[in-house]
Amino acid sequence: MAIKAVSFDFWNTLFTEAADGFQFYAVRRHGLLSEAVGEFRPVTAEEIRHACHVEAQAHHSIWINEHRTLNAEERIVNCVGRLGVSLPEDRVSDLARAFEEGILERPPVLIEGAREAVLSLSQKYRLGIISDVGFSPGRVLRQVLSQVELIDVFDSLVFSDEAGHSKPHIEVFKQTARTLQSSPDEMAHVGDLEHTDVVGAKRAGYRAIRFVGVTPMDPDERTIADRVTSDLRELPTLIDAL
């Protein structure tokens, strides 16, 4: 069956963090938490770091095992709870918004070749994004897409915080295919992670292309992807050949 539509992962497929972005975001969140918790009891930087680390591990476990992502408010409540503090609802809400919008202070950057590939593919295929989110929800990632003037290229945007599921849950792939008016065997998905992007796409009946330009494969790793590439500019040729 010929390909009619293509979906993309967001992180480390189309966008990656700005230089030192991961550290910048973490320091910013730790500062906000320290200020909030400090209104109720003294707290050390080490306590904040440890609570955030434990919460991040718990969130990762839910993402991997339950195929869903917690929102910023849930994560903040879990984190401050480990510090023995309960924040008022309005304080949690304000803090969550600050966490969510943190990446706008140092926005992620397009990966080399992403703009060219997306614009080229949009001339022939309907396009979508299927993205799991961390602290930054779909509404913020839409702002990132708008800032680089690419949001109008995509006919479908499915983010885990809005869909209620994260990859590899089959529903996010089914929802995307429906919106793009294509059957799964007319779909191709491009992403960097084997266990979410590739496995999820193949289970849903898509073809899968694994992008290894940012997240390389381990030397002894195998993939079930139909194609593998480290250069996004190769995508139009690879997808035409599927």
| Same domain membership, residue 70 and residue 112 | no
Binned at pLDDT 50, 70 and 90, residue 23 comes out as: very high
Average pLDDT, the chain: 96
Average pLDDT over residues 12-33: 94
Q: Are 148 and 110 in contact (CB under 8 A)?
A: yes
Looking at residue 1, what is its pLDDT? Answer: 79
DSSP 9: -
Looking at residue 103, what is its pLDDT? Answer: 94
| Same domain membership, residue 57 and residue 9 | no
| Same domain membership, residue 155 and residue 182 | yes
| Same domain membership, residue 196 and residue 80 | no
User: Residues 95-134: pLDDT tens digits?
Assistant: 999 999 999 999 999 999 999 999 999 999 999 999 999 9
Looking at residue 55, what is its pLDDT? Answer: 95
| Same domain membership, residue 142 and residue 84 | no
- Domain boundary pick from 69, 87, 104: 104
| Same domain membership, residue 206 and residue 175 | yes
Binned at pLDDT 50, 70 and 90, residue 89 comes out as: very high
| Same domain membership, residue 163 and residue 233 | yes
- Domain boundary pick from 104, 128, 153: 104
Looking at residue 139, what is its pLDDT? Answer: 97
Average pLDDT over residues 83-89: 93
Average pLDDT over residues 23-30: 94
User: Residues 124-178: pLDDT tens digits?
Assistant: 999 999 999 999 999 999 999 999 999 999 999 999 999 999 999 999 999 999 9
Domain span including residue 170 = 5-16+108-241
Which residues fall within 8 angstroms of residue 98, CB to CB, at 6 or more apart?
Answer: 32
| Same domain membership, residue 116 and residue 187 | yes
| Same domain membership, residue 33 and residue 127 | no
| Same domain membership, residue 217 and residue 118 | yes
Record the pTM. 0.93
Q: Are 176 and 156 in contact (CB under 8 A)?
A: yes
| Same domain membership, residue 120 and residue 98 | no
CATH of the domain at 114: 3.40.50.1000
* Longest CA pairwise span in the chain (Å): 62
| Same domain membership, residue 151 and residue 203 | yes
Q: Tell me: pLDDT of 19 over 90.
A: no
The secondary structure of the chain in percent helix, strand, coil, rounded to multiples of 5, reads: 50, 15, 35
- Domain boundary pick from 104, 127, 161: 104
Q: Tell me: pLDDT of 44 over 90.
A: yes
Q: How many domains is the chain built from?
A: 2
